[in-house]
Structure 1
């Protein structure tokens, strides 16, 4: 990093921050974002409250993702009993992917205005009702509308969890939390169909949805009585416990010593988790009833609220890191969805002739690959950024995380190619399973790194940024899935998957560009970022 001359200050790009004290072999960290002296600030919560809230959001993600992905093993019986064509089933899946993006655009502004808790509850309630509808569906219009409503409401599972992590956890903890989130979502997407396959064979495909009704009902009750609002609006008089400006570095030994003395730091415990702060103000703690209030509205005009419908698209058009993450995420999901849908439609035919429970079992490799990849990259990501910060006088650059993305790109390409060639040539099912596992091993860590990178680089606008990422991700996925049938007919499944894999690899390879020039891009967009932060009032409360 270039240093200014002594006595001169330098404004850092968004996301660049002092993460560790500039001491050799130091284990002290600088808390980012800066906590306040308010005991009700989620950053100041006791660890058990943080982890309970996060566990509930992970349960929500698990159940919603399972619901959205559990349908594929039921397609065979629905095709036979209700006469749904394979084109109808594929199109219903594509429509769902499209409304995942639309739902995020519509609902996320509400969570920014009124808080996370009411939107979680509404989302669970809608998916609960749609589960009943799914269990009773009879006509093609039912499956189309089921996907419209469930995916619109379930879109929050792809956006709001990032807001919750940013609300509650510090930068040095987000890699692990994002790993848990991605792992949970992928588990819902892999084990959900596996269980659905066995339920379809043993109890009938309608019971897949009745079981969802039961579990979502339990989830709704847990959220109603245990989930606390994480959106924080500082009351008047609340101050940050850290005094230096996070965007300014002072040059010289005296300035460094002064910064070290004035920044509040804490040592990591043996688990690598920061112990609770313990706020020092006289602000009273909220009661149980106050913590479970239904609405936490941000003051302001409705015109401010309306900005959140267009800010995500401005961010996509003007923030290169956000656009790159969105396209990379979308390309990977398109590959995964292609593997999932083709497995359900092609492996029920010769030479495989798989039943619903066997289709479900083919999701086990995805579970294994995702679990191993998440277990590796989650803790490694947070430790790696602390190590690199120590090498850089305690200064952290968000692009540091992207180094961990590069080793996993070949696994996405190799696994998808093995799957596509194997299923085209009718190779034995273990070959197909290995391809799925290898691809999943690469996809999960890359998604973890990308989401954490965006959260670190543009923390103050993470809600709107994730809406843009989710919208592009699902637009890309929807376009590819709608094109699958005619594309397969034109060039064959092998060439389709080869093409999609190469496109995904090409997009991901731009990580090299951001490793070299990402900081410069953030510097060029710093003024725009500040303006967008002010416009995104709900995300700018903690300043």
Structure 2
């Protein structure tokens, strides 16, 4: 639906877009030649497919991140992915040092478990304080600032002596680390089109899992060979390398579609082309009158190189000051909660993502507190090796889910007359649902019964395969459905996600002591199954909810600091 319409066409609620239709091209122009010839055409669609409509609409500015060459987009995304991996590594590598901490500093396993849970709780609130700065001053300064802080936290951890040190480094590093979840979705929405987001979110989730699963593996061997303090010195070195990369390579992705030379960017787009009858048939614009009236026809976009492109040093300015006063930014500290409880889709995807995250983090803490005891008696390196099964499972899940997420969405859109619905991504999550409880049952029951370590390891791998599709689908569904309020939406999701992880980690010890480890994981698996089956409800009724709550969405969209024309 065009953003200036006051009423929402039921056929085109927020998130419903035309992504298979008349050919969409990007033309290059300069001050002398405003309309390029056909031989200067560059197709921005998928390789070999010239009929993917670009959503959201790029502007004509060469500085618009949507118009960047793919290598620039991918370089920025690679840096962000490295940042995510390191933040998750900083949080989860600590678990393999627990045995040494217990021996050297006398920290009990209950205290260590509580320190981990306190960090998860801090992840709930960190973004609420820091993301408003990203909306005001841009993504770049926040990435640089948080990387520097995490580097300092690693040094503090390396010099840890007291319980206060233990708690403070966990809490403070996680407050800053909360940005890793929110800023990534803002960056994805800044630089990638709708038909590219499924793959990028899968890659993002894979890097998260690398940080969670492989950091204990490396940390375990470092603990045994160099001592537990060197785990944190290596983290400081790696964060330092990331800081240098962000300073010299990461470009700001926040783009202000403000008037250029007094003319609004949106108005400088070329007029809508008049497709012939064949184009109309391909794009299914004759499917219904509502389709033609409710959704803009595919457009021809041009990059206007008469607009000055930023120099290298301008691209690397430390911050970009938005014209919106900071008093307007403060509302983003509470607005995520209002959106969370006003839009069911946001709340449900937050619960899905939270439960899937708990399915990753709870077993990590279980390994460190159970497998160090008889009959396993695992050392730090052996505990670290248990990170390999979930890493392999996540990699397999990402290899399947990444390409399938976008290709299934495009295929279903084509069958739907070229019209994409965000709910189309949820079918893949349903297909992988049985793997999550199956893996949790094998892991928990196997540990409780003292089975050979291969059984819980296999369970970890199976559940990891199943966790990837619903996690990726939840994030992509939010980005596709609620693009204009993605920052506030993901802040709400982050709060719920980490709250759920915190509750399960705090409850793990007393709950398993009361009913046994087997019944804890059986119950945990059943809860995850019920939550994931809720995707079926949204597959069938999600669009109806988006139609009914379109007014709410547009209300909060207008309160955002900027909104790209769609």
Give yes or no for TM over 0.5.
yes
Structure 1 equivalent of residue 315 of structure 2: 291
Q: Within 2, Cα distance between the matches of 1:242 and 1:159?
A: 34
Structure 2 equivalent of residue 52 of structure 1: 75
Structure 2 equivalent of residue 110 of structure 1: 133
Q: Within 1, Cα distance between the matches of 2:303 and 2:419?
A: 26
> CA 1:518–1:139 in 2, change beyond 3 Å: closer, same or farther?
same
Structure 2 equivalent of residue 399 of structure 1: 423
> CA 1:531–1:256 in 2, change beyond 3 Å: closer, same or farther?
closer
> Does residue 154 of structure 1 match 2:177?
yes
Pairwise CA distance, 1:519: 0.1
Q: Is the 8 A contact 1:186 1:370 kept in 2?
A: yes
Structure 1 equivalent of residue 483 of structure 2: 459
Q: Within 2, Cα distance between the matches of 1:256 and 1:530?
A: 20
Q: Within 1, Cα distance between the matches of 2:508 and 2:257?
A: 50
Structure 1 equivalent of residue 299 of structure 2: 264
Q: Within 2, Cα distance between the matches of 1:105 and 1:442?
A: 30
Q: Give the 5 Å matches for 1:44-123.
A: 44-123=67-146
Q: Give the 5 Å matches for 1:446-525.
A: 446-525=470-549
Structure 1 equivalent of residue 33 of structure 2: none
> CA 1:197–1:427 in 2, change beyond 3 Å: closer, same or farther?
same
Q: Is the 8 A contact 1:328 1:507 kept in 2?
A: yes
Pairwise CA distance, 1:264: 3.2
Structure 2 equivalent of residue 381 of structure 1: 405
> Does residue 131 of structure 1 match 2:162?
no
Q: Is the 8 A contact 2:287 2:417 kept in 1?
A: no
Q: Is the 8 A contact 1:335 1:497 kept in 2?
A: no
> Does residue 16 of structure 1 match 2:39?
no
- From 350, 354, 360, the equivalent of 1:336 is 360
Structure 1 equivalent of residue 265 of structure 2: 239
Aligned length: 520
Pairwise CA distance, 1:534: 0.6
Structure 2 equivalent of residue 271 of structure 1: none
Pairwise CA distance, 1:371: 0.1
Provide the aligned C-alpha RMSD in A: 2.3
Structure 1 equivalent of residue 44 of structure 2: none
Q: Within 2, Cα distance between the matches of 1:338 and 1:179?
A: 21
Pairwise CA distance, 1:386: 1.0
Pairwise CA distance, 1:336: 2.0
Pairwise CA distance, 1:499: 1.1
Q: Within 1, Cα distance between the matches of 2:561 and 2:376?
A: 55
Pairwise CA distance, 1:83: 0.2
Pairwise CA distance, 1:501: 1.4
Q: Within 2, Cα distance between the matches of 1:145 and 1:497?
A: 30
- From 297, 302, 316, the equivalent of 2:340 is 316
> Does residue 421 of structure 1 match 2:445?
yes
- Give CA-to-partner distance per residue, 1:471-493, whole Å, 9 cap, x none: 00111111111112211211111
Q: Within 2, Cα distance between the matches of 1:499 and 1:522?
A: 32
Q: Is the 8 A contact 2:136 2:324 kept in 1?
A: no
Q: Within 2, Cα distance between the matches of 1:500 and 1:261?
A: 46
Structure 2 gap ranges (5+): 1-7, 24-47, 274-283
Pairwise CA distance, 1:228: 0.3
Structure 2 equivalent of residue 141 of structure 1: 164
> Does residue 34 of structure 1 match 2:63?
no
Secondary structure of the equivalent of 1:38? coil
Secondary structure of the equivalent of 1:279? strand
Structure 2 equivalent of residue 5 of structure 1: none
- Give CA-to-partner distance per residue, 1:414-436, whole Å, 9 cap, x none: 00010010000000000010000
Pairwise CA distance, 1:250: 6.9
Structure 1 gap ranges (5+): 1-7, 266-276
- Give CA-to-partner distance per residue, 1:211-243, whole Å, 9 cap, x none: 011111110001001100000002312434475
Compute the TM-score of the two structures, normalised by the length of structure 2: 0.88
- Give CA-to-partner distance per residue, 1:128-147, whole Å, 9 cap, x none: 00000000001111111011
- From 301, 308, 328, the equivalent of 2:325 is 301
Pairwise CA distance, 1:326: 0.6
Q: Give the 5 Å matches for 1:346-385.
A: 346-385=370-409
Secondary structure of the equivalent of 2:160? coil
Structure 2 equivalent of residue 528 of structure 1: 552
Q: Is the 8 A contact 1:96 1:151 kept in 2?
A: yes
Q: Within 1, Cα distance between the matches of 2:212 and 2:389?
A: 12
